[in-house]
Amino acid sequence: MSSRPTRIVVIGGSAAGLKAAAKARRTDEFASITLIQREPELSMASCGLLHDAVGGNVGDHDLLVCAPAEAVRDPMLFGEAKGFEAKVETEALHIDRQAKTVSVQDLASGAQDQLPYDRLVIATGAAPMHLDVPGIELEGVHTLHSVGDAEALQKVCKQKRTRKAVVVGGGLIGLEVCKALRLARIDTRLVEKNERILQFLDAELARLVEMHLDSRDVEVLLGNGIARFIGKHGRLTGVELTDGNELACQLAVLAVGVQPNVSLAKAAGLEIGTLGGIRVNDFMQTSDPDIFAVGDCVECKSLITGRPIRAPYGDTAKLQGRVAGQNLIKPESARFPGVTHTGIYRFFDYTIGFTGLSEQRARAEGFTNIETVTVSGLDMPVFQQGELLISKMLADRDSGRILGYQCIGPGDASKRVVTVAMAIRGKLSVEDLAHADLPYAPPYSLALDHGIVAAHALENKLEGRMQGISINEVKQRIDSRADSFFLDMRSPLEFDEMRLGIGETLIPLAALRDCLDELPEDKDREIILYCKTSLRGYEGAAILQQHGWKNVKIMEGGLVAWPYARAK
């Protein structure tokens, strides 16, 4: 042991920074650890800011900064229980790498100080992106990044003076804000500059989420942006969109994304990556080996592509903090290999889960020989009140390796996303997942779990046992008036309740063998089969193929996955 304790300074007191400090303390009882936090709160549960705090489900904001044992994470807790000093409302001003000091300022008194370090951790997180448009300074225009922001929005909701709100940005934060505002019974519109929300989803699944927002009375305006905020006497009265239309509102919430907060690191001369985050190695070291960086301010490595990726999630931040904390004391003893980019979110009773690459992203990353499949089904048996799930799986054709998975719906998407996330991390093939031995009991899943069924369907496509056609391709056939024969295999009662309404032919599966003369005489003509989930379409396709029809395709996902207008 050296004569002097190792001096560690951590800049940033949210998930990543605190985890690094706590892990360093557990690894070395004698290290001198000081943590700097600009905000008054430590380890704030950012995910709870929106639904719980703004939506009014957390009465005491201290719950957002509580440890699992219900102790409030404040400087006293960390001083007494963790054994390190946590300085809140203290800003790090400058890093002197030559002198190995950090200049800090107490925001209450204005007093400045120099903190020496042997090893430094930068955990400065991310900052909300801002719109550079006229009127952004008006009262009623909000961002949502801190407890103070949440308290301001909660106050607006409780006052019940706000009738109309506009949320700008169709990412997960934007959806969270919409949910919170609808819980407060505020008329809400979502404005997104792209042609779809949730860019990590493929278009057909994102469209289904848009339909769910509409069912919750959130109007989604796509392909539009904010030209200016309109106000009177300093208060917001509306927004003007880039298409010239104006929306009346008393509240606007900017949720246009976050960017890595790297100003301190950049000023210190540390290397910044191509995506704007601090570049780190597997040990979470920056270009200066005595300075580590963790959390939303860094770039990760994709375990699928090997390329840089941003993953601003709380779990990733804590994993990185754990690795850095150990390496602060025992250099190069722990590694953070990268991420599969996995996330999950719940909008009222609708879950949105994803892991790995979307089809669009995979093609952009250079994967050209890929196969996808979309399946629909229940998460549990009907007698267990099973709920619908719609998922899309993606694999590399050459190796069979799973590249991505998306799962949405009112059912339990979580366990399916978890399973596939680990399959991707383990570089498993579709065949590997198709034979996975997962736990089964009716209260938890079907005998063949929804995720396993997706793997079976994708394996069938890869092996040439099934010809599928995506929802988007079917829509293109309809729009171009292609000479395709559409065959609905449901019952007459189901058909009367809801249908595509495109001149399709109804032949229930049970009657198919007796109605083959109603099908096209040309055995090469394209026949597209479907039902509610297209399970009956799959069975019908097997019958037709064995009776000589050669161009038989199954509309993947069935009618429940159809994200466009349907006849009733």
Per-residue pLDDT tens over the stretch 80-90: 566 789 999 99
Mean pLDDT of 140-158: 82
- Count Cβ atoms below 10 Å from residue 418 Cβ, excluding itself: 15
Q: Are 40 and 67 in contact (CB under 8 A)?
A: no
In the predicted structure, residue 77 carries a pLDDT above the cut 80 = no
Amino acid occupying residue 417? V
Q: State the average pLDDT over residues 168-185.
A: 92
pLDDT at residue 50, as a whole number? 57
58 — pLDDT class (breaks 50, 70, 90) = very low
Mean pLDDT of 190-213: 95
DSSP E strands in 446-547: the ranges are: 468-469, 485-488, 505-506, 527-530
Provide the pLDDT confidence category of residue 161 given band limits of 50, 70 and 90.
confident
Q: What are phi and psi of 418, to 5 degrees?
A: -60, -45
Contact residues for 35 (Cβ-Cβ < 8 A; gap 6+): 9, 10, 12, 13, 17, 18, 21, 78, 84, 85, 86, 87
More confident residue, 150 or 418: 418
Q: Are 364 and 433 in contact (CB under 8 A)?
A: no
Task: Give the 3-state secondary structure of residue 108.
Answer: coil
With cut-offs at 50, 70 and 90, classify the pLDDT of residue 145.
confident
**CA–CA distance, 20 with 35 (Å, rounded to integer):** 10
CATH of 141-256, one of 3.50.50.60, 3.20.20.140, 2.60.120.10, 1.20.1090.10: 3.50.50.60
Q: In this predicted model, which residue has the larger pLDDT, 149 or 334?
A: 334
pLDDT in tens, 446-488: 999 999 999 999 999 999 999 999 999 999 999 999 999 999 9
Position 257 scores a pLDDT of 87
Q: Topology of domain 468-561, per CATH?
A: Oxidized Rhodanese; domain 1 (3.40.250)
Q: Pick the range with the lowest mean pLDDT from 42-46, 120-124, 402-406.
A: 42-46
For domain 342-462, is the CATH number 3.50.50.60? yes
Give yes or no on whether 7-44+63-126+260-329 and 342-462 have one common fold: yes
pLDDT at 182: 92
How many helices (H) and strands (E) in the chain?
14, 30
User: pLDDT at position 54, please?
Assistant: 58
Q: How confident is the model at residue 1 (pLDDT cuts 50, 70, 90)?
A: very low
Between 61 and 398, name the one with better pLDDT.
398
Per-domain residue ranges for the chain? 7-44+63-126+260-329, 141-256, 342-462, 468-561
Residue 264's pLDDT band (boundaries 50, 70, 90)? very high
Residue 150 confidence class, pLDDT cut points 50, 70, 90: confident
Look at 48-52, 131-135, 179-183, 414-418 and tell me which has the smallest mean pLDDT.
48-52
Q: What pLDDT, on a 0 to 100 scale, did the predictor assign at position 354?
A: 97
pLDDT score, position 399: 95
Average pLDDT, rounded, for the chain: 92
pLDDT of residue 31: 96
pLDDT given for residue 55 in this prediction: 54
73 pLDDT above the threshold of 70: no
CA dihedral 8→14→16→22, nearest 10 degrees, is: 50
Mean pLDDT lowest among 63-72, 161-170, 295-304, 445-454: 63-72
CB under 8 Å to 195, separation ≥6 — which residues? Answer: 203, 222, 223
**What Cα–Cα distance (Å) separates residue 157 from each residue in 56, 182, 382?**
9, 10, 39
CATH classification (class only), 7-44+63-126+260-329: alpha beta
Residue entry with tokens 């301010």: 297
| pLDDT computed for residue 45 by the predictor | 52
